[in-house]
Structure 1
Amino acid sequence: MHKLPNPASLTAAERAELRDAIAGPRYAQQPHDLADGSRYYIAEEAGRIVVTKFHGKALKPDRVWFRSQAAAEQDIASFTTRRQQLADAQAERRAEAKRPHTLTVGAVLVSSYGYEQTNVDF
Structure 2
Amino acid sequence: MNTLKTTDQTPPANDAGVPPAPPEAPATSVRVAGREVFIRSGYVKVKLGGELPEGVEVWRDPGRPAGVGFAGRRAKPDWNYRFGSEEVFRTFVAKWVDGLRVRETAKAERRAAAAAPHGCRVGDVFRSCWGYEQTNVDFWQIVALRGRTQAVVRRIAAERVATAAMSGVCTPVPNRFLDEVRHPARVVRLVAAETPRFKVESYANAYRMTPTVEAGGLRTYEATDWSSYA
Count of residues in correspondence between the two structures = 107
Shift of 1:112: 7.2
Letter of the structure 1 residue corresponding to residue 76 of structure 2: K
Superposition misfits of 4+ residues, deviation over 2 angstroms: 24-27, 31-36, 105-115, 117-121
Shift of 1:32: 4.4
CA distance in 2, matches of 1:112, 1:78: 38
Larger displacement relative to structure 2 (78-87 or 53-62): 53-62
Q: Which residue of 2 aligns with 1:49?
A: 65
CA distance in 2, matches of 1:54, 1:69: 19
Q: Which residue of 2 aligns with 1:36?
A: 54
Letter of the structure 1 residue corresponding to residue 58 of structure 2: Y
- Name which of 59, 71, 74 aligns with 1:58: 74
- Name which of 76, 87, 94 aligns with 2:111: 94
TM-score by length of 1: 0.67
CA contact (8 A) 1:32 1:41 kept: no
- Name which of 91, 100, 105 aligns with 1:74: 91
CA distance in 2, matches of 1:56, 1:94: 17
Alignment of 1:12-27 (within 5 A): 12-13=30-31, 15=32, 17-27=33-43
**Greater share of helix:** 1
- Identity within the alignment, %: 25
Q: Specify whether residues 54 and 102 from structure 1 end up closer, same or farther in structure 2 by C-alpha distance, changes over 3 A only.
A: same
CA distance in 2, matches of 1:92, 1:23: 33
TM-score by length of 2: 0.39
Letter of the structure 2 residue corresponding to residue 38 of structure 1: V
* Unpaired segments ≥5 residues, structure 1: 1-10
RMSD after superposition? 3.0
* Unpaired segments ≥5 residues, structure 2: 1-28, 140-154, 157-230
Q: Specify whether residues 26 and 98 from structure 1 end up closer, same or farther in structure 2 by C-alpha distance, changes over 3 A only.
A: same
Shift of 1:50: 0.8
Any idea what SS the aligned residue of 1:70 has?
A: helix
The structure number with the bigger radius of gyration is: 2
Any idea what SS the aligned residue of 1:84 has?
A: helix
Q: Deviations over 1:14-66 (max 9, x none)?
A: x0x53134313333x12447332222112145xx3112011322211221111
Any idea what SS the aligned residue of 2:67 has?
A: strand
Larger displacement relative to structure 2 (75-84 or 106-115): 106-115
Q: Deviations over 1:83-115 (max 9, x none)?
A: 111111111111111111121123345657787
